[in-house]
Structure 1
Amino acid sequence: MTLAENFLNLEAKRRSIYALGKQVTVGDDQLVSLIETAIKEAPTSFNNQTVRAVILFGEKHDQAWDLVADRLKSEVPDEAAWEATQNKVNGFKAGYATVLFYTDTDVVKQFENDFALYADNFYDWSEQGHGIATYATWLAITEAGLGGTIQHYNPLIDDSFAQAFDIPSNWRLRSQFVIGSIEAPAGEKTYLADDDRFKVLK
């Protein structure tokens, strides 16, 4: 099998896993190395490297999802909705680790100033860089036999996370990536017809 075929198989293997657990055999140091390398090797516009990450294990991972639950409690309309929300958040807390993905807005602003011709694009390009880094991280943990799911509780949790985890004020939270053992497989994935998605011209 070629490297290209291996990569495409890994892409197909990567899924959103919601039943996550703590039965992780990959050591914390190895997991950190996987995540850091995936992010460092991911491309960014002008190589401006705007992506930042905070990796949470153990009590800090649990604390993050307790903070999410506390914040969401004030947003739900009734007890039934709160119970459903709490169950969902507890599912993420049941995972092993969380990666908080941030964008360094100071870097974005600097490039807007330095390259004024493209100033309107740098925020969008930073979002692309975030997406690529997140995807690279997801593939890396998939290859390691782990599952993950991306969540977006920002901006509701931005302030509480910044205070709890000593986040610089110029870092803007973009997503929360939960990692853990795969306790149940993903459901079947459906696809749009190729004719609706692709156009090939020669």
Structure 2
Amino acid sequence: MGFFDKVFGGTEEAGQTGKKDFLTAVEERRSYYSIQKEQVVSDERLKEVIEHAVKHTPSAFNSQSARVVVLLGEHHEELWNMTKEELRKVVPAGNFSPTEEKLKSFSDGFGTVLFFEDQAVIESLQQQYELYKDQFPVWSQQSSGMLQYVVWTALELEGYGASLQHYNPLIDEEVQKKWHIPAGWNLIAQMPFGKPGADPGPKEFKPVEERVKFHK
């Protein structure tokens, strides 16, 4: 059973339950900053879930410009050590302790998902559709945001906790060199994940009635 089968239900009879499961996953997806290295599902299952998300998340003009790199084990730890050293260059030494502690919380996790957008795809569409030239970079970001959310929610369903981080463009060059990332892949976000080590705590909500309007 794939990720979307699990979310939406594999049969018509399961449809109502599937909808409830999806909304529950949406509700329970939170930012987890206390994560552990303990493996929750097999690497094969993790690969299946992320590949499924990349394949089926929508994109403008079906451009499929999203690119993903998953770092586990030493690769995951090296990413956050690398980030720490890059930040050390720009954060005053006297203020670095909280930054180092935060980065360690990411490194303590099981892995990291790196989200990229392939600029060659976007530039090709800009050449093909001159009228929408200025919109393709915007739509690219929107599509990446959808993919990040799908992966985040999928990880929640599998039992992992995750958060979304943005240390780009500070780390772009080092990431590109270390993992042989094509020059045209633009790093958008980093998602460290692992077994939840602590509850994320309560979340405050503004009145939804002020945020949603229905006209019928």
Q: TM-score, normalised by structure 1?
A: 0.97
Match of 1:152 in 2: 166
Matched, 1:91 2:105: yes
Secondary structure of the 2:202 match is coil
Give the deviation of 1:196 after TM superposition.
2.2
Bigger relative CO (Cα 8 Å, ≥ 6 apart): 1
RMSD: 1.0
Matched, 1:121 2:135: yes
Match of 2:3 in 1: none
Amino acid in structure 2 at the alignment position of 1:85: T
Asked if 1 retains the 8 angstrom alpha-carbon contact of 2:119 and 2:185, the reply is yes
Match of 1:50 in 2: 65
Paired residue for 2:81, among 57, 62, 66? 66
Match of 2:91 in 1: 76
Give the deviation of 1:2 after TM superposition.
2.9
CA distance in 1, matches of 2:174, 2:116: 15
Q: TM-score, normalised by structure 2?
A: 0.91
Secondary structure of the 2:71 match is strand
Match of 2:186 in 1: 172
Give per-residue Cα distances to partners, 1:84-128, cap 9 Å, x unaligned: 110000000000010110000000000011111111111010011
- Between 20-29 and 148-157, the greater mean CA deviation after superposition: 20-29
Paired residue for 1:33, among 48, 51, 59? 48
Give the deviation of 1:3 after TM superposition.
2.1
Paired residue for 1:16, among 16, 22, 31? 31
Q: Structure 1: any 5+ residue segments left out of the alignment?
A: none
Secondary structure of the 2:163 match is strand
Q: Structure 2: any 5+ residue segments left out of the alignment?
A: 1-15
